[in-house]
Amino acid sequence: MFLFGFLWMFVFTQVQGLPYFNESDHLSPPKRLCRRLVPVALYAALLISFYATALKPFSNIVEIFRIPPVLYLLVLFVGFVAWLFLYIRSNFRKHCQKNSLPQENNRSQGTTARTVLPILITFICYAIMIAVSVIFETLHLQMNLMAMCYILVVIMSILALFSMVIYDGSLGRMTLDTEDGK
């Protein structure tokens, strides 16, 4: 299930970006189409040969169609959570800038705290994830393994996004000065 589900994602979304496929601009459209269909044909042949011989004939083939929708929904969820964190942070920053020092003075003060705090928060997020995993194991939750994986991935995504927002907010963005060769 996982092999062919993730292979589906690779064949239909990623393999077309490989340099071999991008160098086919000089080919005629039929040859270019044939080159694009080779990975799909290989995937289909591998899928049919595996499910026809290794498993009950095609009884579990619908399993491969579970992985791509879950991954796309997860990308939408993580994107929404990231947008939400960034929206909250920008509104919080706008609110705080009304009553604070100018940005240059604010950045120069407490540089050690600005460096240590994000690292500390990252370790706290990691500890929370471990604690959630231990709680799941201790309580012997009787749930589907996939459901448990989804829950853990969602929690980890939220914690990782929170940690990234803290890093971005406290360390700031770095820019390269390109004027006068500097």
Using CA atoms, how far apart are residues 152 and 165, in angstroms rounded to an integer? 20
How do residues 42-65 score in pLDDT, each as one tens digit?
988 988 888 777 666 666 677 777
Please compute the mean of the pLDDT values over residues 31-37 and round it to a whole number: 78
Using CA atoms, how far apart are residues 30 and 36, in angstroms rounded to an integer? 10
- Does 175 or 18 have the greater pLDDT score? 18
Please compute the mean of the pLDDT values over residues 94-121 and round it to a whole number: 64
- Cα separation of the two ends of the chain: 53
**Letter for the amino acid at 62?**
V
> CB within 8 A of 97, min separation 6: which ones?
103
% of the chain at pLDDT higher than 70: 73
pLDDT at 71: 80
Using CA atoms, how far apart are residues 122 and 164, in angstroms rounded to an integer? 8
HSE-CB for 133 with a 13 A CA cutoff: 10
How do residues 144-177 score in pLDDT, each as one tens digit?
877 887 788 888 888 888 877 777 666 555 555 5
Interior angle at CA 17, CA 12 and CA 22, nearest 5: 125
Q: What is the reported pTM? A: 0.50
